Structure formats: structure tokens, C-alpha cells
Structure 1
Amino acid sequence: MKSALFKIKNIMFGEKKLLVATAASSKENKAQQPTQNSHIRDYLKHYLSLEHSPYYAVLISGEWGIGKTFLAKSILNEFLDKSKYSYISLYGTGNYDDIDAALYQSIYPALTNKGVKLLGRLGKAALKYSRIDGAIKLSDITSPSKDRLYIFDDLERSKLPADQVLGYINELVEHDGCKVLIIANESKLLENKTYIETREKLIGKTLEAQPVIEDALRHFLSKVSDTNARSILLSHIDILIRIAKQASAKNLRILQQSIWDFERLSKHLKEHHYKKPEGINALVSLFFCIAMEVKSGTLSISDIKNRPDGFIRRMQKARSDEPSTAIDDTQKKFPEIDIHDRLLTNDVLVDILFKGIINSDALNESLDQSSIYIDPLAEPAWRTVWHSAERDEATVEKAVIEMERKFEKKEYLDLGEILHVVGLRLWLSDISELRIDRNQVIQEAKNYIDHLYKNRLLPPINRGYFGDLETGYAGLGIYEYKESDFQDFRHYLRARQEQANLDSYPDKAQELLKEMSSDTNLFHRRLNWTNDADDNIYANIPLLAAIPPEQFASQLLSLPPLNRKTAVIALYSRYSSGNLERDLQNEKTWISEVYKKLILSSEKLKPITKYKLRNLVEHYLSSFIA
């Protein structure tokens, strides 16, 4: 059934041939340089200049996000005033009423007023009220004039079947003689036979759009509000164009989103960063190629977290037949850019691109520790050796001497730095810079760890901490980390840390016992997993076994009744999850002894106190007694 929309008397707007592109138009007379989309401009110029109704629509097709709408409007603005065409988005439209409303709102902007209710099929669109601020009367609402151009965008994103939408548009073309431009990603529609049959009756010309990267990019940059970011990006526009063309996706929305992310990032840069053009150039290049690959789904969060240093990756590929990774593929895609550059560390990239977080301190530390920005005089010796390919020979030689001095004097106490130094010494041994073989390097490294352990300088294992040092530390990959002798050293280090853990238990246990007396709620949090990770540091560590059972029982009995109950419940919560059979096995005998001591001690108490204590202990702890 035809819409009542097409039954209204056609009252012209009083302006004829609005779509004729005349030779006198100053816009048309502008010199036009041939582009990859010149065919679209040329055909639309022809279509708009027709003085008679063509009785067919024109389709601009192309992949999502390549800038079809931007392209169409840019071309149309050469020939038409914006008031002479109507733009209708079909996105989400579910029936003809929705399209009616969108069509008439595009012709009469006042119909978007919140006080107006569009009733759709009643005369295409009717008003709940007969007047809108005195500007439009119901009688003013007329059929679409054929002296306007009607642009229907997002055909494939309507909830209506595409052939039904085309049927609606056909009423405009055949019955009202209107000129219509349709914008769609037709590749999403061509599997539908009904659509193909319908389009043949309506669409007289299909124009394939190519990405309008440069024009769209300049438009995007004109919208960047931060002056520093806009200035940086405009001065690097050639790089951005090249990256956009090389990227996996040609979706311009991805480019726009990357610009927004860079604008946020740029607000955290320091003045000295802007003073090094090579640094800003590297930052723009690295950020945009990774950002666009992430947003296109080519690089995952795992790929970024495990992104190795370029030098490390080259060593890996030289020594084994490792399969190509997504990072390797990205490097091939952008051969002029060092995808492995640590200018932005993996953590910084993950925060910005996956979590939407910009940690100003982490960002600036990442930049300042990079080979471009770091002050060579302030750079730690081991980092200079690591960056030897980018430092002059004399500087590197001095750094090797200084690194060796600090290693010999046992001045390195940070585990990450120690792992770096051991990896670097293995590499220096391989290239004969050090006159010792790899076996001696590993033995000296183990002796170093023994020294730290004996002098109580070796930090105990912080659960989950070692994982951060699997492949890198301080934004740099660890040399030789995959080699078997290096892994042997890591196992030795971990074993020593485990022993350091055990050695530290008695002192930590006594501190915990004091906390039970001073703050039983904190005692509870120390022993159990809670939302406060800073407090529950012993949740899976069998620390209680280091407290003599009789001492613990005595301390527990000295607590006020309510605090005593809280402490017992802390033990119940600790063991009720079944962890007594896993990480806390060393506490199985301990809790049994504590239980016995408490029951035995209750015999010396007065009847009521005895009853309450036994009831408390048996109710909460008896199920854990072997």
C-alpha cells in the first residue's frame, strides 16, 4: 500500500531547477585535480545537471568507514547549497513511519523540536500541534519536491529488508520524479536475490568509492581542539597518510579514533619532548601504526603485552625456526617504522589502547627512558650496553667497564636489573667482549645470588611478581632470556627466593600475631582474599605454621570476646575454601595443634567462659582437624 505521503498535493517550493549545475557556478569553475574518486564527482555533476527527472537513483558503494558519506557531501557542496539537499540516515529504521519521520525532519529542521510528535503515515508526517513556534503550519507540509536531492545513507543498516527500503525510495524516484543518491556497503546486500531484483529497477548507476584518506584526514585534524596535537599531526600528515594506506583496515573511523587517542596522549607530553623533532616523529609513527592495527583487530592485547624488542626478536629468529607472529606481520606492513621501539612500553600501549588509561608518569618515564630522549650521562651503564647499537663505541666501552664494576661489587640489588645484566654478560661473552665463557657467566651469576641471600638482600618472592620479568624489565627485553643456561639461572634464583621466603616467615609471623591483638579485622584481611589486595598478602602463604601453636592459642585467649570471635572466624574463612589442601598444607598440623591447645585451655576457665570458648572453637574449627 502506498504511503499517504505520496497522496498530498505537490506544492512546489517556488524555486525551479535547484539542482542544475551551471557553468557560471564559481564552485564548479574551480580547477579540479584528478583523484581516485573523480569518476564519482564527474557522474554526480552530470546527474545533478539533468533538467528532467531521470527516474533512477545513483548508488555510491564502498566498505564501511572508508568515507563514503564524507566524499558525497564534499562533492555535493561544490554544486549545491546545503539547504538544497536532504540527508536521511536509514540506520536503525524499522518501518516506513521511521523513514517518513527522518525524511521530513531533513526537509523541515523544526520538526526535530522535542515538542513535536511525528505521526508518520498520516500524510507522511503530521504534527501533534498545528504550529511550531508560529513557523510551520500543518498545511505547509508538502510532498517532497523534485527540485531537491535526497540522500539515503546506511541502506544495509536499516532493520527493514533492503528491497522494502528500495521500494520506498522508488516512490520518490518514479512517482515524484525526485533525484536520489543512495550510500551503502553493497557487499553486505548482494547475497539477497530479492535485493538484486529490486535494485535493477531503481538504481541506474553504481559508483564504487575509494578511501578518501587525505581529504578525510585533513577534515579530522581540523576538528582537533588541542593546538599542540593538531600542529604535530598536520606537520606529519604525509606519515599519517602512508600509515593509513598501509594499515590492515581502510576504515577512516579507525583513523579518526586513533587521532582522538593521540590528542589525549599529547596533552601529557613535556616541553622537552617537543624540542626533539626526531622523537615526535618516532612517537607519531609508532603510535599510529600500532593503534590502527589494534583497532582493526589485527593486534590483540596479548600481542602488545608480549611485543619483544627488535634486537631480541632478531636474535630469536636467528637461533630458531619460530613461527611468524602478528607483530612480525605488522613490521612487514610498516617497513619504515620500528614496531619494536620501546619509546612507548608495552604497558603504556596496553593502558592507552585497550583500557583507555593514560598514566602521565608512566608515559613520560617511557619516553624519557627511550634511546631518543634519555640523557646519556644519566643513563645506567647496563642500559647503555643494551642500547649499544645506538651509542658511540667509546660510550659503550665505558658502560661495559662500569657495568662490570657494579656487578663485581654486588651493587645491583634490583632483580630486574640483575636479570638484564646476566643476559647482557652472556651476550658479551658470545661476541668475545668478555673473556669468559657462558658457563662461567652463569656460575658468577649464581654466586651473586648466593651473596644476596646470605646477606639478607635477596627479596622474597612476591606472588605474581616474577611473571613480569619473564621476557623484559623497565621497558626492555632481557637478552638471552630463552636460552637454556639463562633459564637454569632463573630457576636457581627462584629457588633461592623461595628459601628467602621461608627464612622470613618467623619474623613476619610475629608481626602478624601483633596485628591480631591490635586490629583483628586487619588480621582477617591479611589471611583471606578480599577486595583490598594490599592487605591480603598472606592469603595463600602458610605463614601461620611459623607461629608456635601454644603461643597463638595464648594470644587468642588474651583477646576480648568479640575480637577472639573475629580471629577464629578469620581462620574459618581461610580454610573453608579448601585451600588447606593446596597452598596451605603446611598449616594442617598447625591448626590441629591450635585446636587442641584451645580445648585444653578451656578446662581451666569458669563454666560460662569455658562453654562459649569450646562452642566457638568446635563450631568454626573442628571440621579442619585431621
Structure 2
Amino acid sequence: MKSFPKQNGTMDLPNQIARRVVEKYLNLQSPRYALLIDAPWGCGKTHFIKAATECETDPTRLYVSLYNVHSSDEFDWALVRALNPWTKSTAGNVAGRAKELASGLRFMGLSVDLTKVNMAELALQKLPETIIFDDVERCGLPVKQLWGLINRFVEHEGKRVILIANSDKHTERPDFLLSREKLVGQIVTIQPNVDAAIAAIWGDIPDGQGRRFLQAHQAIMKTTFEEAKHQNLRLLLRAIRDAADLIDQIEPEMVAHTTSVQRLTQTFLTLHMAYHGGVIDKDGLRQRGETGRYLNSGKDEDGSPLDKLKQNHPNADILNYRGGALPTELGVNLLVDGYASAAQINIALKTTGHFTAPKETPDWIRLWNWEEQDTAELEGIIARIEASLTNFEVTNPGEILQIYGALNFMGKYRDDFCPRKTARKFYCYVRALSKRGILPARVASFAAVHEQYGFDWTSGTISYEGYGFKPAPKGKGLCLLIRKLMDQAFAGKLPERASELLGYLQDQPETFLDLLEKNTGEGVSYWETPILHYMDCLAAAEAIFKLSQRDRATALRVLDAIFYRKLKNSKALSAEHEWIENLKVKLVAKANAVSAIFAAQMRLLIQRAETKAG
């Protein structure tokens, strides 16, 4: 764990008494008992004792980790490694290194053959007067055997021995508690220093709106940690780092909704610590969006894990079925999958309604209701719209068409209105938007009838946000022009979209499949959009090959979805056909580079996928 800064001249304000106990123990000569630092995991025990003893800089004090030590020989080598940092290799290499360093060594006038000497015994003769044993509860030795090994330093050699453990997590807890009294003369407990831990974490977090927001609202982190009651600072610090990354990806205007982001932060920190601390699992995260039926059907009489979290964290949106700040599926993506794109995050948060303020009625709607407006106010609306068009600020195709329709509607009652001149002005406007690259591209969907242009044009009516009009021929021409230019923008972005699709193939194959398959919702779909040939074929083959090694069933589904695009004989997708054939060749070549058997397995997988697709 990162070293925490000193505060007001002391290392750790909540643990000053514990520090004085350690300092007093360090001043004892041959105390004949061990000092135990006993506290939960993650609360900063190791940091506390390293700072209190200064063992990393003081050669008279040795820090030793007993993690994963399972024999007396391994116990001795743990001490040797602590004494000599270069001995972190295997014991055999250590002996070889020692022999190399000591070649020509003579003792009492005679040469010494180090291959016949127990190196551990030689090294252990240099042990300092203070030894600190960490991770006692994670040592694989039986309790009695471990105490016997440590006791030789306490009673027989009179050394100062400090033990660091979490007694509650010891696998032999009853024996550990009973037998430690024979060796341990004093037990000290410490409290997690939240302030110091939080102060230290900022150095690990890049500067950005996430770090700035969290630094300005540290009380939320402290409150959430106190409510969690687990005392594990590691869980808190990991959650803070991920919370900063989450907030970094939120659109700045949404972060301006301070109260909502505070609620989101508290909810995220709570669920993050609970999930990574094993309090809830993936199913529990998904249950957040369900109704309250499961709350009293938990794993024990005290209620479900989610119910307990809700009781401990009343100000966090643990239950989400009424619409909390952290959507259920986004929570699963962030905590279980460990990733969500900025687009996913912002879209999901916007759907909650917590991050959007009520807006004033847009000018284009007020223009439609021109007969209800005061004359001076209407003139101001028209002036603002004209200024926005002059500055190319209106880029939403739906709004452009609505402004055009509203002006034509009002123009029917004006003597100075020219429909032809107005149409020409809007034709030039959308062409200028396209040339500047600020006219949006359409969104890919599974069929032409569902192509997403941001407005609807069915039954002869152009509609957007609940307002619609039946266009005259020039209005229809404007609509067709907008669609054509949005199609061109879409085609221009296909290489970029293909790169994103390749990323999903590499990291999230299920999302890759969703994007290639037919769907009836509003989601993006490349069902009828030729895009695969824009992808790096070799990189795609590499991704599918790796997927076939870890999840053959999913690899088969991916190949099925790809091959079907050729076998269904869609003219729209003909540009992909050569790429698909090239993919097969590269897949076999990739497998053949490993072995002939791998190549045979890949050929069989390709054959099965083609059969399934056909």
C-alpha cells in the first residue's frame, strides 16, 4: 500500500497510542515476548508498522512476509530473502549466486566449499535484533509449528518480535487464539486512517474532473466507508480510483448536477466495495432493478445482502427499481465486466433523469406556436433562430426540418414570405453543415425502413419530438437531401466504426454479436451495413483464434454470424465477401503456426460455422 503522508508531525493520528506502544517495545532489551498487531485486512497494518518501526531504512529491523510459507525450510528462506533482496530467485539460484560471490573465500586459513554449507544457516546468523513477521494468518504452517519457529527468536535469542495478523481470518482461529497467549505478551489493535489514505490516493489518480470532484466531496467517501463497517482501506481506495475514472468519462454538463453526481458516487463506492469484498455477487447487482419481492428472501434470517446494504447505506441507491442514479445494467458493466465506454455511461445516466435539468421551451417549438407569442417576443425568437443558423449552431436534422416547417406555416399568413427563397436558404445550410463535417451521420440499423436519421418520415408526415407537418415538394426535397448527406457522413465514418467493432470482437464478443445481428429495437445494428471489410483482417483473425482457445462455443457463434453475411446472398453486403474468405485463410494460417492439430481443429470449426450459417 502506498505510504501515507504524515499529518501535523505525527504519522497516523487515529493510532498515536498504538504507535507509542510499538516505540516502547522497540526500546526494550530482550523483552522475552512478542508484540501482536491485530486488525482486519486492508486497514493499513503493514503501512502502520513499517512507518512506526522505520524497518525499510533501519538495518537493525527486518520485515518478513510469511504469506504462502508452508514448511520450516520456506520459513528460513523467507528470512533469507528479507535479509538479501537479490535472493528473491529460487533457492538453487541463490546458492549459485552465493558461490559466485564468495569464490576464493577462506575461513581460518582454509578454503570453504559453499555447496556443502547450509546457506540459510549462514544468513540467519546475521538476523537483526528486531524481526517483524507479517501475514501471519496467511502462513500455511500449522499454528504450533509456526509458534515454535518464532519462539526460538523470542525466548532463546531474546530478539524483539512484532507479529502482524488478522486473527479473525486465520484458518485455525481457535488454536491460534488459544496458543498465541504463550508467545504474545501484548496485543495492539489499530484503526484505519481514512484521512491519510484518501490524502495519499490523489497521487495515483490523473488530474481530471473525476479527481477534482472527489477531492471537493471527500465527506462522501468517509461516510460511505464508515457505513460499510469492513475497515478495509484497500477496498475503499480501489473504489475511489474507479469512481474517478467513471466521473472522468461523464459529460461535463452532467457533472454540473452536483447532487446527482454525489448520489452516483455514494452508490458506486458502496456497490464497488460490496462486490469486490464478496458481500454481493453478480446476481445481487442485477437484482437491484427488481421489485422488493426478494428483499426478505435472502441467504439468512437477517434479510438479503442487498437489504443489508440498503440498511447500512440509506443515502445510496442500492435498490434501483424506482430509478436510481446508477442504472442496474451499467452497474454490472462497471463492476463485473470492469468496463463501459464513455458513450454507454453517458447514455445510461441520461436515461435516469437525474443528470438533466428541465429545459426552457426550445425556440423552434415556440416558433410553431407563433400565434400565441407577443409580437416583440416573436421577433426575438426569429432573430435568435436566424443568428443560430448564421453561426451553424443548429445541427440536429430534426430541429432543422421543424424550423423550416414552422417558418413555412407562419409564412402562409405573411405577405413578405417567399417559400422558394426560404427553401434555397435551407438547402444551402445543410450542404454547408455537411461540408464542415458537423451534420450528424445516420445510425446503422437492421433494415432500411428503420434507418435512424433523428426524425421520422412516414405517411407523408415529417415528425420530430411530437411535432409534424406534411411538406410541399421543396420540403420533401430538403428531407431527401438531409438523408443523402447523412448517408454520406455515415459511409465516411465506417472505417472508424469498424475499428470500434474490432475492439468489441477482441474484448466483448457478445457485444460484437449484438451489433451484427438483426434487432427490432432502437439499438445500433450492422445487419444490412457492409462494414467487416473495413476491419483489419489479420487482427480479427487473431481475436477469433484467441477466443476459440478460451471459449469455443462463442467463437463458433462469431464465425456463424460472419459467414451468414455471405451465405444469405445480400447484395448490400457483397463488399464483405472477399474479406470473409481472407479471414478463413488467416485463421487456418494462425492455427497452423501453432501446430498441424490446431490447424485441423480450426478447419473443423470453420466448417461447422459455415454449416450452421447455411
TM-score normalised per structure 1: 0.48
Q: Which has the larger radius of gyration?
A: 1
User: What TM-score, normalized to structure 2?
Assistant: 0.49
